[in-house]
Amino acid sequence: MKIALDIDGILANFYKHFSDKFNLPYKPVSEYGLGYPNSWWLEKFELLDNNFWETIPVLNSYKEIKFDFDIYLTAMPQKFKNARISWLSKNNFPDKPLHISEQKVKFCLENNINVLIDDKLETVNQAASKNIFPIQYIPPYYTDQMISKNPNVFKTKNLSEIPKILNYIKSQLPK
């Protein structure tokens, strides 16, 4: 069983850091983009730098990861990969390969990843449709609209539940 773990929205509180940087209210999220058009987000992303990516607050510490996984899989801009590696190291997260892809499900299929742990609704639903076992981590700032209704998506608000979910998934895989 090969497992990919997302970072932003699970380990790193990107939303809080982004909100603080651009003086946005840190409030419950009911939609991606917070109602802003894509052009607004692209403009703001251009203003981010290495310091931003290296100083994102931790959402769940390394101590809360009680399961093994194979890789980190994130959709952040490629040019900040070294800043992300630095952030992972500085915060004592497990030393695992970091892969960046805007198309996480495609990446999982091409790299024989069976399990994807991610927070994003669209990503976990797409993974379920492609026979990848998705586990949706639900950060504390998500509203019900951000939680998958798909019965094939495992959901958790606590990383401590992931070992139990992974044991169940393992029992469902062909021997």
Which range has the worst mean pLDDT, 33-47, 86-100, 160-174?
33-47
Alpha helices in the chain (DSSP H): 14-21, 38-45, 50-54, 81-90, 104-110, 121-129, 162-172
34: pLDDT confidence band, cut at 50, 70 and 90?
low
pLDDT of 38 > 70? The answer is no
Q: Which two tokens stand for residue 80?
A: 């900040």
pLDDT of 35 > 60? The answer is no
pLDDT of 59 > 80? The answer is yes
Token pair 């981590």 is found at 137
Q: Quote the CA–CA distance of 1 and 113 in Å, as a whole number.
A: 7
Token pair 């952030």 is found at 87
pLDDT of 10 > 70? The answer is yes
172: pLDDT confidence band, cut at 50, 70 and 90?
confident
How far from the centroid of its chain's Cα atoms is residue 170's Cα? 21
Mean pLDDT value of segment 15-23:
91
Bridge partners of 8?
A: 12
pTM of the model: 0.94
Bridge partners of 74?
A: 100
pLDDT of 42 > 90? The answer is no
Structural domains in the chain, CATH included, are 3-172 (3.40.50.1000)
Predicted local confidence at residue 70, as pLDDT: 98
Predicted local confidence at residue 37, as pLDDT: 54
Full strand arrangement of the beta sheet holding 154-156 = 98-100, 71-74, 3-5, 115-118, 133-137, 154-156
pLDDT of 9 > 70? The answer is yes
pLDDT of 36 > 80? The answer is no
Beta carbons within 8 Å of 15's beta carbon, 6+ residues apart: 9, 26, 29, 139, 141
Gyration radius (Cα) of the chain, Å: 16
Tens of pLDDT, residues 123-156: 999 999 999 999 999 999 888 888 999 999 999 9
Predicted local confidence at residue 39, as pLDDT: 74
Count of C-beta atoms within a 10 Å radius of residue 80: 19
Among residues 4, 14, 8, 10, the alpha carbon closest in space to that of 105 is found at: 4
Mean pLDDT score of the chain: 92
